A and B are shown apart, each in its own frame.
Chain A
Amino acid sequence: MSHPRLIERLSPGQVAVITAIDRGGLDPSTAQRLHELGFDEGVDVELLHRAPFGGDPMAVRVGNMVVALRCSMARLIEVELIASAAAAECQAAAAE
């Protein structure tokens, strides 16, 4: 199975870890605020909710905090499924 690389591709309940943030795509002040809100390489994230009419913006749990952000910004954040979560999903898929 392939690992989702974007937050918006995560399915509900899946926990992923941030592997890279493309800071080049952001102005410095927004990049700083993203970090101030808890985004960072190595932090766990989960896609919680998506807005009506197209799913933009979305609500993401990052660490212990819930942050609302637009898809365009979320696409600058690369994530990878956490091994245990990925394994659990594989098992669930196999069981089906």
Chain B
Amino acid sequence: MNVPMTTPVVALVGNPNAGKTSLFNALTGSRQKVGNYPGVTVERKAGKLALPDGRIANLIDLPGTYSLTPRSPDEAVTRDAVLGHLKGEKSLDAIVAVIDATNLRNHLRFVLELRRLGLPMLVALNMIDLAERDGTSIDIDRLSSILGVPVVATVAVRRRGLDALGVGLAGVLRGETPEIAASPEADVRLLQREARVIADTVTLAVGGHRKWSQRLDGIALHPVFGPVLLAMLLFLMFQAVFAWAEAPMEWLAALVSSAQGLLNGSMSEGPLRSMLVDGVLGGVGAVIVFLPQIIILFFFILCLEQSGYMVRAAFLMDRLMARVGLNGRAFIPLISSFACAIPGIMATRSIDSPKDRLTTILIAPLMTCSARLPVYAVIIGAFIPTTLVGGIFNLQGLVLFGLYIAGVVGALVAAWALRHTVTKGESPTFLMEMPKYQWPAPRDIGIGLYQRAMAFLQRAGGIILVSTIVLWALATWPKPPADWNRPALEYSAAGRIGAALEPIFRPIGFNKEIALALVPGMAAREVAVSALGTVYSLQGSEEDQAKGLVERLRGTWSLPTALAFLAWFVFAPQCISTLAVTRRETGGWAWPAFMFTYLFVAAYAAAGITYWTAKILL
């Protein structure tokens, strides 16, 4: 048989949590995100796979699905790719069906469905180590002869069986395996029964059920301890964000201010020095110091995602989510939105009902993302004392936790309101596989943290740097005339913009500097902090610069203003990227416009209420 000259296209297909992405990463050397809940992969990812016969194959990683009858947008991607219906995409030359060796009965059913397509196929019997540990023994040769396709045992996370898989796949692509006859679709129950018979035939020794996973669930899903554990985990996360990050943040802050001192000492006064000291270091430096906090936050979220706990959280929250017209499944993208709303909104593709999905997209920005952390941290650091509450809890950590809770409550209220108005309709039931627990793999956590840290630094060096320099220029020119006796900033372009915006924000307690900072804050929320850093750096003397932003805010803002600013950012709609991804996911500008409007109104109201309540009470 002739070897085709074009690059063959091979897809990894299988049930959710079969380990497709782990296998994909191991085979292609990619660093795609892996996790232990259905819906980690929501779009197709491609990579190059070098086969042992010297050829290169295009390997495609597809979202996990239970069958070729999709229920959600991510599953539809898999069906379209497998059937060759994806636009601009070559049809597949072969399928690698990835199945979980500990769940043969269910995963084989999908293999049987895929086999009926008549495409060349290979089965990767993944997680064989877990099956062996349970005491399950599988006759692989028998399975291969019954299915009529090669079967290779693999352990993707330990890189076991990868060579054999490559050899097998090369053989399949060369047409060395018997052709599979295409047959029409069959009823799911028929396939289910056939799969059970095959599974029982090839299973030589039956292992025990995953007792330890069930025992963990005995605590994690316990009617009393379960919710307590969930609350404690989230609480620990926010305490850690403050407590563990304190020392490294001080080092970074010291580094920034000594760099400012160095430039002040070595350069003669002029626009360039001002741009570097006030613009770049004052602005970007104010954001960079939050890197340790962001790494800690992501560490917790990655652990939650990889261990399988996310699905348990969804289970615990289903009842509450049902009250506001959603189901537990929507809780998973919402927790991911603590990191950033963009992956959170993408993750909603695994939600089957379009209205549930739209509602989840609209409330995702209310979950406090990591970009808001610098904003909260600056204000909390400046205005909330580090008192110990009850002997163990840092008041700053408590306030931060409260702000996160405010975001969650805001999201639930918004969901309820949306479900009764613009996204009215029936909510589908909660039906979800609960994957077994897994130890988070240090390598995957490390890669995830590295990618997040780099993304943060790239933002700081890119959009944050650019908007900070633009703001610095606007705040520096035009220069005031000699007889100007008020701050130079007020004469500058930025000062005039701030003064023009101030009447809009004065009723909710915001001053000119805040009004001004909110504008570049549209680009990214952290920019609000870097903007304040630049504005106050320009206004202050060299001694003031050494004090840092926190110290300067403490002297300038009243407490009600600071609290109103925090309340504003619980709802703050400022993030162009979120609006852009919402446009893409909802297919138009109508929903992002709606999102912006409702969040702006909510932020304005929340800040106003906070300001006036605080003014009366304090």
Contact = CB atoms under 8 A, between A and B. Distances in A.
A40 B189 contact: yes
B422 interface: no
A34 interface: yes
Given A36-B188, A67-B434, A52 B209 contact: no
Interface stretch (B155-163, B381-389, B424-432): B424-432
A86 interface: no
A11 interface: no
Given A36-B66, A40-B192, A68-B311, A54 B428 contact: no
Contact of A63 (B105, B328, B428): B105
Interface string B57-87: 0000000001101010000000000000000
Nearest to A73: B429
Nearest to A35: B188
| Count class of interface residues, chain B | 35 or more
Contacts of A68: 311, 314-315, 318, 328, 430-434
Most chain B CB within a 10 A radius of its CB, from A29, A30, A35: A35
A35 B191 CA distance: 10
| Count class of interface residues, chain A | 20 to 34
B221 A70 contact: no
Nearest to B214: A48
A69 interface: yes
A33 B431 contact: yes
B315 A59 contact: yes
Question: What is the predominant secondary structure among interface residues of chain B facing chain A?
Answer: helix
Contacts of A40: 189, 192-193
Question: What is the predominant secondary structure among interface residues of chain A facing chain B?
Answer: mixed
B90 to A, nearest CB: 28
Interface stretch (B222-230, B454-462, B540-548): B222-230
A57 B318 contact: yes
Given A40-B189, A48-B214, A67 B221 contact: no
Most chain B CB within a 10 A radius of its CB, from A30, A61, A64, A70: A64
A55 B192 CA distance: 29
Counting from the closest, the 4 A-B pairs by CB-CB distance are A36-B66, A49-B221, A66-B434, A52-B223
21 contacts: A29-B69, A36-B109, A36-B188, A37-B106, A43-B196, A51-B319, A52-B316, A61-B209, A63-B103, A63-B106, A64-B105, A66-B214, A66-B217, A66-B433, A67-B432, A69-B429, A69-B430, A69-B431, A70-B429, A70-B430, A73-B431
